[in-house]
Chains A and B, each alone.
Chain A
Amino acid sequence: MIDAISDSIRQPWPWYVSGFMIALVLAFMLFTGKTFGFSSNLRTLCTLCGAGRKWAFFNFNWKDQAWNLLFLLGSILGGFITSHFLENGQALKLASSTVQDIQKIGINFTGEMQPGQLFGPEALLSVKGILILITGGFLVGFGSRYAGGCTSGHAITGLSNLQKPSLIAVAGFFIGGLIMTHLLLPLIF
């Protein structure tokens, strides 16, 4: 019995299990009197680094957001626990059309969670590799604060609460994502 359960946890989770679990996390946050929004942590981290002394946007009491930083800490732990204890070594099953498409732009599919070319240690050996990581992060950090939220705050929490602003933000996420995927990635790689 226990073996069967632990075996099925180690399998990749189907979309409906993950979607259900994410909704549970949302409910948990709401019923503990908080919200589900991850990108606010980036602002809090800037405040922790002292940005509040110079710029008013970061001048707030970070302790009010301590619960969210703990959530962030937990998410790192969750990634660690999964890769060390909850994987069965099965290769990621990617759509064959995607495998072919990304091969055309020079990214090989290895069956691992991430392409080593982009996120392995070798990515740090070239200026281009480092620039991709920094620029990508910059766009995510700038865009999420500009839009007032990310996937958790807008796509999950905002759409669940039928917020039109969130629908505009999510449409924006997709416009940007499609431009990057179909127009810019072939130029970058």
Chain B
Amino acid sequence: MKALRFIIAGTIFGIIMSKSEAISWYRIQEMFRFQSFHMYGIIGVAVLLGAAITYLIKKFRLKDIHGNPIILEDKKMQWRKYLFGGIIFGLGWALTGACPGPIFVNLGYGYLTFLVVIAGALLGTLTYGIIKDKIPH
């Protein structure tokens, strides 16, 4: 039953991504060309509400459903990894029009060619894991 909870959350996520057209290469092009507010609106509202949720969790030390305190860990400050990794990610995001979530949502939507994108993404992650100690962080 516990498993079902995460499958349902993922399903809702997949439906949100599809119905808001955030999985569309066209919409990502529109975003990187600053020709529509759509994607900025989606991310902006999610972040504003997310910030309110995060603030409330911290302020009232809210607990999760298991009774454990919800801990939001601070990320370690290493600017190179975030900047360089971010730029590489952005290049791929604009080329495929999809970040990791939408890559899989697209597959379910019926674009089977995303299997090739997934293969590439796994290869990329694998490569990072192999060479990670040799690149600046």
- Which A residues lie at the B interface, using CB under 8 A? 9, 12-23, 25-34, 38-39, 41-43, 45-46, 49, 51, 55, 57-58, 66-68, 70-83, 86, 92, 94-95, 97-98, 101-102, 109, 113-115, 118-121, 123-124, 130, 132-148, 150-152, 154-166, 168-182, 184-185, 188
Contacts and interface: CB of A to CB of B under 8 A. Distances in A.
Contact of B113 (A102, A123, A163): A123
Contact of B90 (A74, A152, A172): A172
B108 A163 contact: no
10 contacts: A55-B126, A79-B105, A81-B14, A81-B15, A113-B109, A123-B113, A138-B124, A141-B124, A141-B125, A142-B88
Instruction: Give the residue among A15, A76, A161 with the most B Cβ atoms within 10 A.
Output: A15
Contact of A19 (B12, B41, B74, B123): B41
Contacts of B93: 140, 151, 173, 176-177, 180
Interface of B: 2-3, 5-33, 35-51, 53-54, 57, 62, 64-66, 68, 70, 72, 74-79, 81-101, 103-114, 116-130, 132, 135
A155 B47 contact: yes
